[in-house]
Structure 1
Amino acid sequence: MTTTPNKSLQFSPVAISPRAKTVQGKNLTGNPRIVRDLTAAIHSNIQQWNTLHLNGLSLLKTITSLKTDNSYPEKLKQPCENLTQVCNKLDNIVEAFGQIVNQMKSISKLHKSSDHLFSTWPVDKFVATAHMIYESYKKEAEVKQIILENVAHDHRDAMKMLNLAAWVHQTQLPDNLNINLESMLVETKLR
C-alpha cells in the first residue's frame, strides 16, 4: 500500500530577515545589543532568584522546625531575619525585571523598522515576554512576603505544610515561563 504525502503537513523554512543575516557573526551594536544584554540580565536574575529560593526554603524549614508552640524562642529570630533578607533580595530582582521591561518598551518605541532584531521575533514579542516574566515574579514575590509574615506565628502542622508547599511550588510562575525564557535566549543567540 502506498501513501501520498499530505501537502498540508509540509513545513516551510523560516525566513530570516536581512537584518538578522548581517548581525550573525559580528559584534552586536545598537538595539540588538541592548535587547541581547537585557535578555542576559533576565536570565541572570532568574538564576539569582533560584539560588535565593533554595536558601529561603532551607530557612523556612528551620523556622517551621523551631516553631513548636505559641512561644517565640530566641533561636527563631536569626532565621526569620535571614528569611527577611532573602525576601528583600527577591523584591530587588522583581524591581530589576520592572526596569528591564521599561527598557524593552523604550526599544520597541525606538525601533521603527519592520525588520526583526534577530531571526524571527518582532521587538514587541521581547517586550511581551519580559513583561510576562516580570508580572509572574512580582506575584510570586508577594506570595513569599505573605509566607514570611506568617511563618513564625503559627505552629500548626497544616499551616507549616502550607507555607512550605507555597514556597516550594511557586504557583505564580506559569508552566510556560521557562519555555519563553529559553526561546528568548535562543532568539538572541545566547543559547
Structure 2
Amino acid sequence: LCEQLVNKMTAVVNNLSAVVDLHNSSASLRVDDVPFTTWPVERFYETACDVVAAFAKELGVKKCLVQEVAMQADEKALSFYVTAWTYQAYIDGETQLTLEAMVHEVGLK
C-alpha cells in the first residue's frame, strides 16, 4: 500500500514536470491560466518533489523495518521497531504543513 502511494505520487510529480515544461515553453498561457491560487507552477512542482522525496525515504525505512521484524524474536527489539514504524521521521511537521499548503493552493480546502 505504501509503495503504491509513493508510485502514484511519483507519477503526479512527473506530470507536474510536463506541466512546468509546457508552461515555460508556451507564450500563449496567461497568468490567470495557472491552476494554483498564489504559487507559480515551478514552485508547486518543486514542493511536490520535496514531499515525494520525504515519502520515498519513509517507505525505505518501512521496508527495512518489515524485513527486520520478520527475523526478530526479542521483545525489546520488536518494541523499538513498532516505535520506529509509528514515529515517521521523514514525514515531519514541515512536510505535513507543506501538504496542507498544497491543498490550499489547488483550492481543495
Report the TM-score range of the alignment, normalised by the length of the smaller protein: 0.7 to 0.9
Aligned to 2:93, the other structure's residue is in SS state coil
What CA deviation, in whole Å up to 9, does each residue of 1:82-103 have, x standing for no partner? xxxxxxx211111111111100
- 1:178 maps onto 2:90 in alignment: no
**Which residue identity does 2:102 align to in structure 1?**
M
Structure 2, unmatched stretches of 5+, are none
Cα distance in 2, alignment partners of residues 121 and 179 from structure 1: 15
Cα distance in 2, alignment partners of residues 135 and 114 from structure 1: 31
* Equivalent residue for 2:31, pick from 106, 110, 115: 115
Q: Given the two structures, how large is their TM-score scaled by the length of structure 2?
A: 0.85
- 1:92 maps onto 2:4 in alignment: yes
Identity %: 26
**Which residue identity does 2:13 align to in structure 1?**
V
> Is the contact between residue 72 and residue 78 of structure 2 (CA under 8 Å) also seen in structure 1?
yes
Residue 178 of structure 1 and its aligned partner are, at CA, apart by 1.5
* Equivalent residue for 1:103, pick from 3, 12, 15: 15
Which structure: larger Rg? 1
Cα distance in 2, alignment partners of residues 131 and 170 from structure 1: 18
Higher relative contact order (CA 8 A, sep 6+): 2
**Within-5 A mapping of 1:41-52:** none
> Is the contact between residue 115 and residue 122 of structure 1 (CA under 8 Å) also seen in structure 2?
no
- 1:144 maps onto 2:56 in alignment: no
- 1:157 maps onto 2:70 in alignment: no
Cα distance in 2, alignment partners of residues 180 and 99 from structure 1: 19
What CA deviation, in whole Å up to 9, does each residue of 1:93-142 have, x standing for no partner? 11111111100010001013573613310001110121111111111111
> Is the contact between residue 144 and residue 167 of structure 1 (CA under 8 Å) also seen in structure 2?
yes
Structure 1, unmatched stretches of 5+, are 1-88
Deviating beyond 6 angstroms after TM superposition, the runs of 4 or more aligned structure 1 residues are none
Report the RMSD for the aligned CA atoms in angstroms.
Answer: 1.6
Cα distance in 2, alignment partners of residues 105 and 152 from structure 1: 38
Residue 148 of structure 1 and its aligned partner are, at CA, apart by 0.8
Residue 174 of structure 1 and its aligned partner are, at CA, apart by 2.7
> Is the contact between residue 108 and residue 123 of structure 1 (CA under 8 Å) also seen in structure 2?
yes
Cα distance in 1, alignment partners of residues 92 and 86 from structure 2: 14
> Is the contact between residue 37 and residue 107 of structure 2 (CA under 8 Å) also seen in structure 1?
no
Q: Given the two structures, how large is their TM-score scaled by the length of structure 1?
A: 0.50
